[in-house]
């Protein structure tokens, strides 16, 4: 353990009794063991605290208190982290068993590592989202549950901006990119996400915040940013309407052949292309 880097994992939660245990188990069952696990609870009133206490011996630190929102909770966890590398896992998400082992093996001289994200809808695989930091100037193409960042990078370039309700992860990723931080892509599923999070429910807010963030860091591309915003909103609207009328095959077609080309529906196909 002394020769292995300490990895801090932060889970934020508020009234997350439905899935928090799954998230916790995915951390404590990691093949890599030099982990500092921190849970930041926002003052849950359901059974969340009881579940956390069930695993108290395997959790390095946990607190339960009101916060100012998602970014504030993230920042509380980062401030308490002592690991060389920091990952953030929301309470609805979960890691693959060898995720942290892969991160430690790949990070080397890089500042940030990330991978692919598998989405679930109604407990069934919906699609796998491939990461690609080269497209960050367009929108969030680095899958936040798969992201691990060196603690020194947070110290140098700042924490999450609480001005954003949904796109705080995009803000920090684009900030790190424009400041020349080095990204390393791991072509493997590192985390899993259920398709019912805040960013899914409030997707239009996320789109507007994304455009604002791009204008902040890429001010010379404001016209391009606006055009991309319009295209993005239209694409999501079309996709959601197709889902509404159960035209799932058309949604899958859109994912495969849209201009973004980042969705792969068939896990078997994903394995071949990786």
- The string of pLDDT tens digits covering residues 83-111 is 999 999 999 999 999 999 999 999 999 99
Cβ-based neighbours of 183, under 8 Å, separated by 6 or more: 110, 111, 112, 113, 114, 133, 142, 177
**CA distances, 175 to each of 29, 95, 146, 197, 217 (Å):** 33, 25, 18, 23, 7
Q: What is the pTM of this model?
A: 0.85
Hey, what are 252's tokens? 């899958």
- Report the pLDDT value the prediction gives residue 269, as an integer from 0 to 100: 47
**Of 105-109, 147-151, 162-166, 254-258, which range is least confident?**
254-258
Identify the pLDDT of residue 56: 95
Which comes out higher in pLDDT, residue 231 or 75? 75
* Predicted local distance difference test score (pLDDT) of residue 212: 93
Which among 63, 70, 66 has a CA at the least distance from the CA of 92? 70
Under the banding of pLDDT at 50, 70 and 90, the label for residue 252 is low
CB 10 within 8 A of CB 85: no
Q: Tell me how crowded residue 252 is: count the other CB atoms within 10 A of its CB.
A: 16
Instruction: Please give the backbone phi and psi of residue 165, each rounded to the nearest 5 degrees, phi first.
Output: -85, -35
The answer to whether 90 and 145 have CB atoms below 8 angstroms apart is: yes
Please tell me what DSSP assigns to residue 229: H
For residue 23, with 0-12 CB atoms within 10 Å meaning exposed, 13-18 middle and 19 or more buried, which class applies?
buried
Digit-coded pLDDT (tens) for 188-247? 999 999 876 444 567 788 888 999 999 999 999 888 778 877 877 776 666 666 566 565
């Amino acid at each position: 353990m002394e020769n292995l880097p300490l990895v801090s994992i932060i889970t934020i939660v508020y009234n997350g009794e439905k899935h928090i245990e799954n998230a916790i188990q995915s951390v404590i069952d990691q093949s890599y063991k030099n982990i500092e696990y921190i849970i930041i609870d926002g003052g849950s009133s359901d059974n969340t605290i009881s579940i956390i206490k069930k695993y108290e011996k395997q959790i390095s630190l946990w607190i339960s208190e009101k916060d100012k929102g998602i970014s504030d909770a993230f920042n509380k966890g980062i401030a308490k982290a002592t690991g060389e590398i920091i990952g953030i896992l929301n309470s609805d998400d979960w890691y693959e068993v060898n995720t942290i082992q892969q991160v430690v093996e790949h990070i080397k001289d890089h500042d940030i590592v990330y991978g692919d994200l598998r989405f679930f809808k109604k407990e069934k695989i919906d699609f796998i989202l491939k990461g690609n930091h080269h497209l960050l100037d367009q929108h969030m193409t680095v899958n936040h549950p798969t992201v691990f960042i060196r603690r020194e990078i947070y110290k140098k370039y700042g924490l999450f901006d609480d001005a954003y309700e949904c796109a705080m992860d995009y803000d920090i990723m684009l900030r790190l990119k424009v400041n020349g931080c080095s990204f390393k892509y791991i072509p493997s599923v590192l985390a899993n996400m259920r398709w019912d999070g805040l960013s899914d429910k409030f997707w239009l807010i996320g789109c507007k915040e994304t455009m604002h963030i791009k204008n902040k860091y890429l001010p010379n591309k404001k016209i391009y940013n606006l055009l991309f915003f319009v295209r993005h909103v239209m694409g999501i609207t079309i996709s959601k309407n197709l889902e509404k009328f159960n035209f799932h095959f058309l949604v899958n077609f859109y994912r495969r052949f849209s201009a973004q080309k980042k969705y792969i529906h068939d896990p078997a196909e994903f394995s071949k292309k990786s």
